[in-house]
Amino acid sequence: MVENTVAATNAVVTLDAAIPGIIWGWMITLNMWAKSIGTGVILIGAYLLYRHKHESMPNLRWLMPVISFVALNVFLFFTLIDLHQPLRMINIFLHPHWTSAITVGAWMATLFTGLITLLALIGTMDQFPDFRRHCKVGKWARDNTEVYEKIFPYVVFLAIPVTLYTAIIMAESSARELWQAPTEMMQMLLAAFLAGSATLIFIADDWKVEVRKDLALVLAFSTALGFMMYMGEYFFSFKSAEAEVTLTYIQSGGAYSGQFWFAMLAGFVAPFFLSISAMKSDNTTILRFAAIIALMGLYLAKDVWLKIPQLLPLS
Amino acid sequence: MKLGFLVDLNLCMGCKGCEIACKVENEVPLSSWRLRVKYIDVGTFPETTRNFTPLRCNHCENAPCERICPVSALHYLENGIVNIDSDRCIACAGCMMACPYGAIYMDPETNTADKCTYCAHRIESGMMPACVVACPVEANIFGDVDDSTSHISRYIMEHQNNGGVQVRKPEKHTDPKHYYVGGGNNTLNPLAHQRIEGYSLFNNVTHLDHVGDPNHSILDRFIGSHPEYDNKSLADERLDAQTKEHEEQGGH
């Protein structure tokens, strides 16, 4: 439609000011990717704890919050340094504007990270009883070990909106028609399932076979559904002129086309089949390989989807 | 009171006086603009016309930039102006993502978002915006759209028949308070015209390579065959396709 319009009008910009290119770049991609790991390990960890006995996953209690803590700090670090005025981040807490998903997300992510820090502290101190035996913080953590189980349900509940709020930021970015709230929310949730299961696979060597099978199942499920969502958006989300031009461009082999298809095949399709295979054979090497390429594919896919709507001139 | 702006494109002659006046009044740095005049050539020689379109913040009544700003740096004034407090801005660029008109820029000197404020500081002192004063043909009309006796209200009423008064991207439901008379799809829809590198009248720079993420599509650098990795390659590709089609139809 737009191509026909252009051909019909023969309109060409002959003088203009220079316009910017991509504003939200790799730091935002890394931010979303790390957040998927940070919330995903909690969501998948909770699912495993619900399905299996604690003894089946002996290191989960302390490694799950520690991994989440590291990933969330990567997420927060890149969120901060992506700001042109990082020291003014404090304004989000001093002058919050509640219609903004950035504000709501920052508050929730801060609370979530605080609770995860507490879980990581208690879990680590319980796991290593001789570490910092006389430290006041360590002593407090060991004396209040029941706090872990008390706050864990709230942490799991909070992980869901923390996962989803970036989709609302993208939906509020009304200049980028490709980012639609319902699909982005599902993509964010599936990304968390994918990243959580893939990350936990790396610490699952000593776990029972049934637990690893569950992890492989979640990875297969999330890669398959994620792939289908991307295909649906890629081929059928021609609801606005802007989304149409964006998708036509990459479908015709424009920049990012190669990265998109590489991400889809290597990061979603291949891990799906590898996970299914690993479920049957309990081959941990295959499962780890599937986890690595799934995490890589997730980063590349998010990178493409973040950048391509920014290719369009808005004025 | 609801302040609004109207540009009569039939009167605009593309002198860029408004652009310069805005730059000087607001000390807008190089490579940035609050108001710019775009030239669009329409048609095939010899039946061609040159259109001039001044573009600035639309001061939307339902402003996406105000909604997404996490610290209320972007806020409404009582007179309807969407103002910006640079001292509060954290420069997350959320507003640049949200504005459908590409009217917000990151000031390279203050490292904060900035945009046209309809010269709110001048309005406060009872003066007109700098661009209105500078326009030699009075193509810029500014005033209270709530007041039915104001110049802008009367101008809108005089020209509103047969869709004579338009806004940019009405489908976004932002309710802009910036109107155009004499505009059309060619001038107001950025997807209806092409932006071609090297085809400009006085310069061949159409994109700010130093703004944003220089590390575009890591993989495409190795496996793709695209020499360009920013949005100008999108325009080039569309031009190539059109030229090819034109040649196939016997053109040259």
> How high is the ipTM of this complex?
0.90
Q: Which residues pair with A80 in a beta bridge?
A: none
Find all residues with CB under 8 Å of A104, minimum gap 6, and list them.
Answer: A98, A165, A168
Question: Considering its fold, how many domains does chain A have in total?
Answer: 1
CB-based contact (8 Å) between B16 and chain A?
no
CA–CA separation, A312 and A314 (whole Å): 6
Whether B252 shows a pLDDT value over 70: the answer reads no
Q: How far away is chain B from the Cα of A147, in angstroms, using its nearest Cα?
A: 33
Asked if residue A212 belongs to a domain, the reply is yes
Instruction: For residues A96 and A85, give the distance between their C-alpha atoms in angstroms, rounded to a whole number.
Output: 16
Contact: A312, B94; criterion CB under 8 Å: no
pLDDT per residue over A177-207, tens digit each?
Answer: 888 888 999 999 999 999 999 999 999 999 9
Instruction: Pick the residue from chain B with its C-alpha nearest to A107.
Output: B70
Distance from CA of B200 to the nearest CA of A (A): 4
Give which of B95, B97, B105, B200 to mutate to test A binding, by max A Cβ within 10 Å.
B97
Q: Residue B230: what pLDDT?
A: 46
Q: Do B212 and A96 touch (CB under 8 A)?
A: no
pLDDT tens for A58-110 read 999 999 999 999 999 999 999 999 999 999 999 999 999 999 999 999 999 99
Least confident stretch, A130-144, A223-237, B183-197: B183-197
Measure CB to CB from residue B217 to each of A12, A13, A255 and give the nearest one. Answer: A255
User: Residue A12: pLDDT band by 50, 70, 90 thresholds?
Assistant: confident
Residue A307 scores a pLDDT above 70: yes
Is A252 a member of any domain? yes
**B 120-139 residues inside an 8 A Cβ radius of A:** none
Mean pLDDT computed over every residue of chain A: 91
- Asked, for residue A2, whether it belongs to a domain, the answer is no
Predicted confidence band of residue B161 (pLDDT cuts 50, 70, 90): confident
Tell me the nearest-neighbour CA distance from A263 into chain B, angstroms.
10
Show contacts of B148-151: CB within 8 Å, 24+ apart. Answer: none
CB contact under 8 A, B207 and A89: no
Select the residue of B40, B98, B231 nearest A313 (Cβ to Cβ): B231
| Res. B124 pLDDT band, cuts 50 70 90 | very high
Closest CA to B216 of A75, A308, A35, A268: A308
- A8 lies in some domain: no
Residue A273 Cα, gap to closest chain B Cα (Å): 23
Given pLDDT bands bounded at 50, 70 and 90, which one contains residue A3?
Answer: very low
* Chain A residues with CB-CB distance to B194 below 8 A: 6, 11-13
Q: Do B215 and A6 touch (CB under 8 A)?
A: no
- Chain A residues whose CB is inside 8 A of the B111 CB are 84-85
3-state class (DSSP) for residue B33: coil
pLDDT in tens, A270-292: 999 999 999 989 899 999 999 99
For residue A259, is it within any domain? yes
Residue A96 falls inside a structural domain: yes
pLDDT at res. A1: 26
Identity of the residue in A24, A172, A300 whose CB atom sits nearest the CB atom of B68: A172
Contacts of residue A176 in chain B, CB cutoff 8 Å? Answer: 97
- State the pLDDT at residue A222: 97
CB pairs under 8 A between A and B: 268
Poorest-pLDDT segment among A25-29, A54-58, A244-248: A244-248
Question: Which residue bears the tokens 């970036």?
Answer: A166
Query: Could you give all domains of chain B from N- to C-terminal order, each with its CATH number?
Result: 3-192 (3.30.70.20)
Give SS3 for B42: strand
pLDDT at B222 over 60: no
**Cα–Cα dist B210/A2, whole Å:** 29
Contact at CB, B68 and A102, closer than 8 angstroms: yes
Question: Mutating which of A78, A84, A108, A312 best tests the B interface, going by the most B Cβ atoms within 10 A?
Answer: A84
Q: What is the percent of chain B with per-residue pLDDT over 90, rounded to a whole number?
A: 65
Output B192 or A222, whichever has higher pLDDT: A222
Q: What is the pLDDT of residue B193?
A: 82
Determine the length of chain A: 315
Q: In this complex, is the C-beta atom of B244 within 8 Å of any C-beta atom belonging to chain A?
A: no
CB atoms within 10 A of CB B14: 16
pLDDT tier at B228, thresholds 50, 70, 90: very low
pLDDT of residue B231: 46
Report the pLDDT averaged over residues B61-68. 97
The arithmetic mean of pLDDT across residues A22-47, rounded, is: 95
Residue of A nearest to B243 (CA): A7
When pLDDT is averaged across residues A223-242 and rounded to a whole number, the result is 88
Note whether residue A87 is domain-resident. yes
Q: What is the CATH number of the domain that holds A40?
A: 1.20.1630.10
Can you tell me which residue has the tokens 């999108």?
B234
- The mean of the pLDDT values for chain B is 85
Residues in chain B: 252
Identify all chain A residues contacting B62, using CB atoms and an 8 Å cutoff.
none
> Does B42 touch chain A if contact means CB atoms closer than 8 Å?
yes
Is it the case that residue B227 has pLDDT exceeding 60? no
Residue-number span of the structural domain to which A228 is assigned: 23-311
**For chain A, what percent of residues have pLDDT higher than 90?**
74
**Is A6 within the bounds of a domain?**
no
